Amino acid sequence: MTEELKAELREFIINAFMRGKGSVKDNESLFERGVMDSFGILEFVSFIEKRFKISFNPSEITIDNFNCINRVAQLIQKKAKSRE
């Protein structure tokens, strides 16, 4: 599921923040590259919460947690496991 999850996150990022063009690596900083900003993180969180039926505490919505696709995928998997 991890690769499928990362592919879905990557697709959302490219379509929502990069106008459907370009690529992003799984370990690349979305903020340092300028792909996402503080407003973008809120849109990304909203997508993730709806798509994966999980919710984040405000303290979890940090640049560190949403810095790259790998970290986001790990966080989603952790949240999904805690639901089980």
50-81 pLDDT, tens per residue? 999 999 999 999 999 999 999 999 999 999 88
Considering the entire predicted model, what is its pTM? Answer: 0.92
Look at residue 1 and tell me whether its pLDDT is greater than 70. no
Q: Is 53 left (phi over 0), alpha (psi -120 to 50) or beta?
A: left
- Number of domains the chain contains: 1
- Indicate which CATH number applies to the domain containing 38: 1.10.1200.10
Token pair, residue 2, equals 């991890």
13-62 pLDDT, tens per residue? 999 999 999 999 999 999 999 999 989 999 999 999 999 999 999 999 99
Domain carrying residue 16: 2-83
Look at residue 84 and tell me whether its pLDDT is greater than 80. no
pLDDT, position 82? 82
